[in-house]
Structure 1
Amino acid sequence: MLSEDLRQSVRDAFSNLTQAKALKPRWGQRQMIAEVANTLGDTERSPFLAIEAGTGTGKTIAYTIAALPVAKAQAKTLVIATATIALQEQLILKDLPEIKRHSGINFSYQLAKGRSRYLCLYKLDQLIQGSPDTPMLSMYPDEAELPEGEEAQGTYDAMLMAVSDDSWDGDLDSWPDALEPSVIRSVTTDHSQCLGRRCPHITGCSFFRAREGLEEADVIVTNHDLVLSDFRLGGGLILSAPEDSFYIFDEGHQLAEKCLQHFACFARSGRTLNNLAESQQWFESKHTFFVENDVRPESLAAITANQTDLLQLTRDTFGLCWSLLNDRTDTRSDLRFEFGVVQSELREGATALRDLWRVNRQRLNPFAGLVEALLEEADADDRETWEASLNDLQVMVARAEGQIALWDSYAESAAQDGTPWARWMRHYGDESSIECFASPIYARDILSEHVWDRVSGAVMTSATLTALGSFEHLMQQTGLPEDTKLARVESPFDASRGRFVVPDMRSNPSNPGEHTDELIERLPLLLEERLGTLVLFSSRRQLQEVHEALESKFGDSLLIQGVMSKAEIIAEHRKRIDNNLPSVIFGLASFAEGVDLPGEYCEHVIIAKLPFAAPDNPIDAAHAELLEAEGRNSFMELTVPSASLRLLQACGRLLRTETDEGIITLLDTRIANKRYGRAILETLPRFTFDIQG
């Protein structure tokens, strides 16, 4: 049971904060504070909580005020993990400073982001020097070509100047101008490429400077990706030790999907062959230098011979993949292996290729260790060459690790024990475009092993955790312990201020051509009703076709996902509304959640159709296949609950404050005339419904 002293500490902190900021305490917020404090502080109950907190609950204040006193009393670190940069910035720049200032709780906090969010001074130095003597391999050379031209070089020079005069800390998210993805890739690194303490720029490294004091912080704010990366490495290597930490997973409905992305494997034929050829050329160019520095020629010969064998076996294996992709009668874009079991001939090829990559890793690792030792002893003239060599070897080892993971998955695909996997292939034209994938189907086993079995306690929260009014879908997806406390907090906003309209449509989305034609016919009238409108599509193709048809009529008032970045679209949308001009956003799934457009910025949300997942999604198809094999209804158990969640998230874009009002229009009558549609309809907030279809 939660001690009375801790209970009083939480009450006092909440009272101090609400009085200082003249906040009106909300019942749902109080309820959430009690649930979080009791879960983490009561040692006689399960330390896990899944709590759905409707929009406007004030969940950030609730979980922080509740968890901090408990964490401090138990000498635990509080790790708050979000899915978006926007929420991290809100926590670091607004919420936590205000809580510290007004609650009476004395605590320290720090933001933790991955290396890819910080400038790498070593890579910037190489880019500015343009030195041909220190070429660096890229993890993704065919996708991440270095940007060229005066504009890119001007950006590099400006970055160096800003870091040198301490006007910028190297955090790319705080760079004043929008950066092209190619520029970001060119100036960032990852754990495989980072030279760590051996880097000549270690004292000024933006990433390591940002980590100073992380071990002493009471609260660490980070993202789901970094938490999962830490757990995959064993836990406690990047963040605090899991056993000594409480975790808050905000936007927790995304955790399972993020987990699958982290543990998935992938290889592309063209990239793999290019990497091997590049590695061969690299060793040839370095051969004389290495031999002159007492590296045994036999070691170099063994590595290059292995790479020659890898090149040939990789060509043969992808050639077999090409045959399998083309020797079929169906027209699907993917070749998915039933129940994840790869054909026997490809399994044999994958086994041989995996084993050869393991030999590659076995030879590269000690060679990288030798180069590291030689770097420590190198004189000033050669040091730069040794640093670049170590960096490149680390990239080669990381490439080998990725290849081993994929081909091992294919080689062992006939084994039926453990977590089931989906495996599939596709191509986009010729043999250089073959892509091979493998992914766990369920995140639950992975999260159980790497997260739930390790942490001291965890709270998962979001405005949308339940599907069809139940936590069952969440529990299946995430593998939260069976004794997890489940709770719901209703939004304090009056849902009846939003009208939910379903027009009487002639077309059915199952016939996409007819449905698109009717959207083009109906949307002009709907778009003229309000200034700020968000139109959500489930299909990029449909979005593009509707845009092409309506562009001449609406012109600049249409803001299209893919033409501009998400941040640029939102900024331009707000600017237009502020100037009393109409503005319409055409967006896909990423605009259906995490987008905050209160008041007149979004008075009408138009949803093209029920947001069912794409029917050709290989992981969902593999999941459905398993359910059907067990005699279960995959559509009702998997597809409908997922669509229900997505629809709730889309509807949540409308009412963002207590005074908001507006319309949600769903251009899909299946919600009214199908049994599964009515099940989804019954779980929506209590809008004012106008069902015409």
Structure 2
Amino acid sequence: MSALSPADKDAIREAYTAITDARGLTPRWGQRQMIAEVANTLARLSPSMGAADTEGSPIAVIEAGTGTGKTIAYVIPALVMARALNKRLVIATATVALQEQLVHKDLPDIKKGSGLDFSFQLAKGRRRYLCLSQLDRLMARESGGGQTMGLYPDEVSPALARDALESYGLMLDALARGDWDGDRDNWSAPINDADWFPVTADQGQCTGRRCPNIRNCSFYRARDGLQEADVVVTNHDLVLSDLALGGGAILTPPEDTIYIFDEGHHLPDKALNHFASFCRLPSTLSWLGDSRKALAKGAPLLATLPGLSTVLEPLPALFDDLQLRLQQIAEKAAAIMASAGDFEEQLRFEGGVVPPDLQQATASLASQWARLTGRLITLEAGIDDALEDESFASVRDELEAWQMAVGGMLVRAEGVLSLFQDFAADAAEESPPRARWLKRRADDEELAIDLHCSHILAADILREQLWDRAAGVILTSATMTALGSFDRFRARSGVPEDGRYKIVASPFDYGKATLHVPAMKSEPGDAPAHTRELIELLPDLLDAGEGSLVLFSSRRQMNDVYDGLPVEWRSRILRQDDYSKQEILRRHRETIDDGRGAVIFGLASFAEGVDLPGGYCQHVVIAKLPFAVPDNPVDAALAEWLEAQGRNAFMEISVPDAALKLVQASGRLLRTETDVGRVTLMDRRVITRRYGRAILDSLPPFQRRIS
């Protein structure tokens, strides 16, 4: 049985002592607890084999309360253990703000103060970097010199705006001078998606090491730097993308990686979104037509490549057949939606069971679509081989353009095939069944319908992709538990039961804050009455001279309350949607700094990740318990599955979820050890309903004032 070696203990202790001394910090008990938990978890790996021993999985789920100082608590022991085990450390966050804080502040401070010598780099996906090959071809098309620039299906626009062309010219000049690294986030001026997207490449379009611009490729330069970095900072989505590609495509292979997922409570939902499949019927129909035309245009050249004439010959008929079949599916989907009612935006199939007629049609289409995908794979491979053959050197530029075009087609074809295969599958053989649904798009077109499919729990996905493969994993956030238990997270994520689970208490004195549940005549179930009472009570509850945050679960209620308040109160309120989130926070801080009171009206995005310490927020008002809106097909399918087993979906899903969100919302109050203030919950159900006591007791130990 492996254990933390004396040398590793000493290295961790010395680094921690050095940084607390250097920064004048008082060592925190919770921080030391977390350091020990991370170190002992990773010590479950055998230094010689790099595999977990019989003590348990090298996976830890740690809830670290606000103010723990969790970045220091996971970076120092994970760095020491990664070095001892010859692994790379990948820190993944759910938000850009935390990534930037890690790269620009936390890691430099730790490196400077701890005495640990390590390198670190931020990892981003391909779409964050300029593709010189795409830009060259696009500029050639605009100048009239590009003969192959009409190849690309779904090309954004036939002609670019003059200001976009000017931006591209400035980008090329900046790259040539070495003043810019090709990273969108480092470009000096804002650039919208419509202008940026055409000059980037995805996995399928990228020709990799064969690209003539490879030596100047911004993405590969950044990626090569990742191979040298001791610590890679990225986001959950990029980690999931890398794992979906088999691991090691962008980051190091999971077997050689220790992952830390900060804001780890988001990981199951991120995994569900990432591995879901969908198909937009109208645009896919258009894409088939565009692809048919594009390949017909390229056939005279591509048919000269060895073995490709027989691949190309049946493609026109195959495209025609797929368009006909897809049109029939679109009509069937539209009929099913019409039967549900003219005003239904989406229709979920109970138990994940697709109507037999639609299921048979998608199964038939999936079979034919697999033929298309196979031919595109062969076509891409044939172009790839030709690029290695000197006899095709005279048409190399055209072949590279076709390689990018066919690669893009293949990526899209594979994604759509996944959806059709998911719709054709037998839900009775799935446990739990997947969620399958139709969604009407806000288009005038009659057949503007999307097909969607998703797992309802991420447990199997993460078990296969991550838990069974990674060298070690640490998941942490301030809200990993719900109702005081890890059960909710374990069920959704599939983290092994023999992993380590730890709650590290916040060092804050919650007795400095008050939780107030005021007397009210209404409950949120009667929305109009509840809204009227909020309008009546808020002017007396809020202090005009302090910083307050009022959180709503409904945009409609937020707007109705705002509109119903007196003019003098509306002038003090910054309301979500009136400005960007960052602009609201900037104006709020500026107002408080000027010695005046300010109030923010916000929705769920202001209930998490918003840091307003001290006087910026002395009062958090929560309009009602944050129960999820019952229109999410994945949550509805999960509830249905639980109910079918005789379980109580409300108590197993809705109550724990609401409790967790309430903890997150109330966590906006105390952000430093000296903060004081109050949380006001305008929802009497914590008192009147039997589940209310459990939710109330899951909150931090505020002083309570129940009216």
TM-score scaled by structure 2? 0.91
Q: How do 1:252-271 and structure 2 match up within 5 A? A: 252-271=264-283
| Distance of 1:115 and 1:550 partners within structure 2 | 48
Stretch of structure 1 that moved more, 451-460 or 292-301: 292-301
Structure 2 match to 1:233: 245
Greater Cα offset, 194-203 or 607-616: 194-203
Shift of 1:332: 4.7
Letter of the 1:234 partner, please give it.
Answer: G
The answer to whether 1:310 aligns with 2:322 is yes
Is the 8 Å Cα contact of residues 257 and 471 (structure 2) preserved in structure 1? yes
- Report the equivalent of 1:604: 619
* Rounded Cα–Cα distance in structure 1 between residues aligned with 2:564 and 2:206: 49
CA contact (8 A) 1:318 1:434 kept: yes
Q: What is the aligned partner in structure 2 of residue 395 from structure 1?
A: 408
Change (3 A) 1:272 1:520: farther
1:509 partnered with 2:524: yes
CA distance in 1 between counterparts of 2:581 and 2:396 reads: 43
Helix, strand or coil at the partner of 1:116: helix
| 1:323 aligned residue (329, 335, 339) | 335
Q: Which letter maps to 2:422?
A: S
- Cα distance, 1:539 vs structure 2: 2.3
Q: How far apart are the structure 2 equivalents of 1:584 and 1:155?
A: 39
2:438 paired residue among 417, 420, 425? 425
Report the AA paired with residue 50 of structure 1.
V
Quote the Cα distance in structure 2 between the aligned partners of 1:458 and 1:676: 34
More displaced stretch, 641-650 vs 278-287: 278-287
d(CA) in 1 for partners of 2:599, 2:691: 31
User: What is the CA-CA distance between 1:35 and the residue it aligns to?
Assistant: 1.1
Other-structure match for 2:429: 416
CA separation in 2, counterparts of 1:87 and 1:146? 39
Deviation track 1:151-194 (CA, whole Å, cap 9, x = no partner) reads 44444343333323222222222334444343443443321222
- CA distance in structure 1 between the partners assigned to 2:350 and 2:494 by the alignment: 24
CA shift in 2, pair 1:517/1:175, >3 Å: farther
1:205-244 matches, cutoff 5 A: 205-244=217-256
Change (3 A) 1:146 1:238: farther
Q: 1:559 to 1:269 in 2, by over 3 A?
A: farther
**CA pair 581-295 structure 1, distance change in 2 beyond 3 A:** farther
CA distance in 1, matches of 2:404, 2:411: 11
Q: Does 1:590 align with 2:605?
A: yes
Distance 1:140 1:647 in 2: 43
Give how far 1:440 is off: 0.4
Amino acid at match of 1:505: M
Q: Which residue of 1 aligns with 2:449?
A: 434
Select 2:19's aligned residue among 14, 17, 20.
17
Q: Which one of 46, 54, 59 corresponds to residue 65 of structure 2?
A: 54
Q: Aligned pair in 2 of structure 1 residues 136, 264: CA closer, same or farther (>3 Å)?
A: farther
Distance 2:176 2:601 in 1: 42
Closer, same or farther in 2 for the Cα pair 1:224/1:127, shift >3 Å? Answer: same
- Are 1:605 and 1:653, in contact at CA under 8 Å, matched by a contact in 2? yes
| Alignment check: 8 A CA contact 1:136 1:388 kept | no
CA drift of 1:335 comes to 1.3
Tell me the distance in 2 between the aligned counterparts of 1:209 and 1:40.
Answer: 31
Corresponding residue for residue 135 of structure 2 = 124
Q: Which residue of 2 aligns with 1:656?
A: 671
Indicate conservation of the 8 Å contact 2:435/2:454, yes or no: yes
1:634 aligned residue (628, 649, 653): 649
The answer for the alignment partner of 2:49 in structure 1 is none
| Structure 1 residues 191 and 258: CA distance shift in structure 2, 3 A | same
Q: Can you list the C-alpha shifts for 1:70-89, whole angstroms capped at 9, x where unaligned? A: 22111121221111121122
1:7 aligned residue (6, 9, 29): 9
Q: Does 1:98 align with 2:112?
A: no
Task: Supply the AA of the counterpart residue of 2:21.
Answer: Q
Q: Which runs of 5+ in 2 are unaligned?
A: 46-52
SS of equivalent residue, structure 2 residue 683: coil
1:416-495 aligned at under 5 Å gives the runs 416-417=429-430, 419-428=432-441, 430-495=445-510
How far apart are 1:549 and its partner, in Å? 4.9
Contact 1:551/1:558 (<8 A) preserved: no
- What's the CA shift string for 1:514-545, capped at 9, x where partnerless? 33343344445555534433332222333344
Taking the aligned partners of 1:551 and 1:135, their CA distance within structure 2 comes to: 59
How many residue pairs align between the two structures? 690
Q: Which amino acid aligns with 1:69?
A: V
CA RMSD of aligned residues (A): 2.6
Q: Corresponding residue for 1:541?
A: 556
SS in 1 for 2:174: helix
| 1:298-349, Cα deviation, whole Å (9 max, x unpaired) | 5433112111111110000111111111113696532111111111111100
Change (3 A) 1:578 1:138: farther
The answer as to whether partners of 1:195 and 1:391 remain within 8 angstroms in 2 is: yes
Superimposed CA distance per residue, residues 627-683 of structure 1 (whole angstroms, 9 cap, x where no aligned partner): 111111000011110111111111111111112222322222212211212210111
> Please, which runs of 5 or more residues in structure 1 have no aligned partner?
none
* Alpha-carbon distance in 2 for matches of 1:99, 1:301: 61
Change (3 A) 1:651 1:137: farther
Q: Distance in 1 between matches of 2:547 and 2:323?
A: 55
Match of 2:121 in 1: 110
**Structure-to-structure mapping, 1:155-234, within 5 angstroms:** 155-234=167-246
Q: Give the counterpart letter for 2:108 in structure 1.
A: P
Amino acid at match of 1:300: L
Amino acid corresponding to residue 627 of structure 1 in structure 2: L
2:358 is matched by which residue type in structure 1?
Answer: L
User: Which stretch shifts more, 368-377 or 78-87?
Assistant: 368-377
Summarize the alignment of residues 345-384 of structure 1 with structure 2, pairs less than 5 Å apart: 345-376=357-388, 377=390, 382-384=395-397
Corresponding residue of 1:301: 313
Q: 2:37 aligns with which of 16, 35, 38?
A: 35
2:621 match: secondary structure? strand
Paired with 1:150 and 1:551, the residues of 2 have a C-alpha distance of 48
Q: Give SS of 2:411's match.
A: helix
Q: How far apart are 1:413 and its partner, in Å?
A: 3.1
Matched, 1:680 2:695: yes
1:229 partner SS: helix
Moved more, 246-255 or 82-91: 82-91
Quick check: 1:135 aligned with 2:135?
no
The answer to whether 1:86 aligns with 2:97 is yes
Contact 2:305 2:383 in 1 (8 A): no
Distance in 2 (CA, whole Å) between partners of 1:136 and 1:258 is 35
Distance of aligned partners of 1:648 and 1:64 in 2 relative to their CA distance in 1, 3 Å threshold: same
CA contact (8 A) 1:319 1:431 kept: no
1:282 & 1:169 partners in 2: Cα distance? 33
Name the aligned partner's letter for residue 123 of structure 1: Q
Counterpart AA for 2:347: L
SS of the equivalent of 2:340 reads coil
Q: Distance in 2 between matches of 1:148 and 1:590?
A: 35
Q: Identify the range of structure 1 (619-628 vs 587-596) with the bigger mean alpha-carbon deviation.
A: 587-596
2: CA distance, partners of 1:568 / 1:184:
24
Residue of structure 2 equivalent to 1:519: 534
What amino acid sits opposite 1:116 in the alignment?
Answer: R
Hey, what does 2:629 align to over in structure 1?
Answer: 614
Q: Distance in 1 between matches of 2:167 and 2:572?
A: 31
Q: What percent of counterpart residues are identical? A: 49
* Distance (Å, rounded) in 2 between the aligned partners of 1:237 and 1:259: 18
SS of the aligned residue for 1:173 comes to helix
Q: Which amino acid aligns with 1:4?
A: P
